[in-house]
Amino acid sequence: MLNSLARRKRILTVLIGAALLAWAGNACHGAPVLDGEIQVMAKVVPSVLLTTGGAILTWNGLAPGENILEDAIDLTVQANVPYSLMIQSDVPNMKEQPASAGPRALKAPLEWSREGLPFAALSTTPAVVKTGGPTGEMHELLQISLRQMLGMDDLALENPNAAYSTIVRFTLSSTI
């Protein structure tokens, strides 16, 4: 009986040892693999890009009557959203620069037109040149023509270094 009890004790010890080894092995190597995931969210900001053909436009040889400068200003628009392109000037009637003692201004405002549309007077209030977009990777080329109406009361300047001048401002903005 002692022999049988000792034998059972040894078998029980071996079984407990095997169970402990199996449990330890699973805990270290065979543990279930847990996956984790994360959702990535991104917001694309509205982007608009306006490029002008240059900073200074010299227009020589104006005379009384209608003076037109076709496709005087090249504008390139690129946008990833719908956009609005506006035009305005703080001084629609060109003024003498550099100013003399009694600076002169042309009687009629400078006028603008986009690709064959009727001319409109430049104003201190922004006017729509074009709405459109998005352009995507492509760009949109716009050409602005200018017209200046002169009368005999628009005087030629005596100073050879002076000219009539104004700043034309273009503003490109997202409409969303």
Highest mean pLDDT (candidates 23-37, 106-120, 130-144): 106-120
Please tell me the distance from the alpha carbon of residue 172 to that of residue 50, in angstroms, as a whole number: 7
R_g (Cα) of the chain, nearest Å: 40
pLDDT digits (tens, 9 = 90+) for 36-91: 999 999 999 989 999 988 788 999 999 999 999 999 999 999 999 999 999 999 99
For residues 148 and 106, the answer to whether their CB atoms sit within 8 Å is yes
pLDDT band at 136 (very low <50, low <70, confident <90, very high): confident
CA atoms 149, 154, 158, 163: torsion sign: negative
Nearest CA-CA partner of 91 in 106, 79, 102, 80: 106
The residue written with tokens 């847990």 in the block is: 34
Q: What pLDDT does 129 receive?
A: 95
What is the reported pTM?
0.75
Residues 6+ apart with CB under 8 A from 129: 75, 85, 86, 87, 112, 114, 142, 144, 170
